[in-house]
Structure 1
């Protein structure tokens, strides 16, 4: 009898879909709720450079913190995330050979909790990721 229960349990575990959901954080902007994650299946963490220069930069850390440096070289410590669906799947628009995501960030010193959105785009052939079309970094991945 124990073998039958064990067999049934094993069959159920084998046929049930197993999915992992990204952890999400909820933010509110202009009376709208958005869910954010820091994981989208591409190596988006790291330093993004402006035209290959050492500064200004955008730095995205895996824990959702980072730095956004303006063209005048002033730095803001930021919190950031990529917009997701209610199921925790990143929202994106698929292009011919690219994908565009919405990157939300806020200045950690801003008491108003004002979130700003910019586009984060991944260009598969170039193996580059762009923030706001001007900051970029190269990536290595076999994902497409």
Structure 2
């Protein structure tokens, strides 16, 4: 019974350690190794649009895949990640009311990684990708009525 108990505890601790570690992907860009993750503790996944439009889109999935579309172009599959340390800790630059990350992406079928800015503005509850693509996040339970506009 003691052996079974210690085996179960060992399996539980091991599984907890594996789950707690962030998934880190290593890429090469201009002969330098960079690390990226898809988990930064914020709701990054979603659809990013130019405000007031429905197309073109950038769709980011939590698993590191997505869809990338430029103006008047077809949608292309991509893989993505946000720059982090080799331990999986996201690297960002804190601003007055924002946090700026480096967003890496690669269109499937191409060999070139591209990077751009990913900005989180908590006071506005918005996330910006490539400067002009935006996604709202936060408490979606508040319903706007015509009187509140």
Where does residue 74 of structure 2 map in the other structure?
Answer: 74
Distance (Å, rounded) in 2 between the aligned partners of 1:126 and 1:101? 17
- What does 1:22-101 correspond to in 2, within 5 Å? 22-101=22-101
Distance (Å, rounded) in 2 between the aligned partners of 1:62 and 1:21? 16
1:51-82 per-residue CA deviation (whole Å, 9 max, x = no partner) reads 23110010000110001100123222100000
The alpha carbon displacement at 1:132 in A equals: 1.1
Distance (Å, rounded) in 1 between the aligned partners of 2:138 and 2:73? 28
Where does residue 136 of structure 1 map in the other structure?
Answer: 134
1:71-128 per-residue CA deviation (whole Å, 9 max, x = no partner) reads 1232221000001012210010000110000000001111xx2000010000011000
- In proportion to residue count, which structure has more helix? 2
Does structure 2 retain, via aligned residues, the 8 Å contact 1:99–1:122?
A: yes
Aligned structure 1 segments of 4 or more residues deviating by more than 6 angstroms: none
TM-score, length-scaled by structure 2: 0.78
- What does 1:16-27 correspond to in 2, within 5 Å? 20-27=20-27
The correspondence for 2:116, drawn from 108, 115, 118, is 118
Distance (Å, rounded) in 2 between the aligned partners of 1:71 and 1:41? 30
Aligned length: 123
Does structure 1 retain, via aligned residues, the 8 Å contact 2:78–2:106?
A: yes
The Cα RMSD (Å) is 1.7
Distance (Å, rounded) in 1 between the aligned partners of 2:82 and 2:54? 25
List runs of 5+ in structure 2 lacking aligned partners: 1-12, 14-18, 140-149
What secondary structure is seen at the aligned counterpart in 1 of 2:20? Answer: coil
TM-score, length-scaled by structure 1: 0.80
Distance (Å, rounded) in 2 between the aligned partners of 1:92 and 1:21? 19
Distance (Å, rounded) in 2 between the aligned partners of 1:133 and 1:91? 18
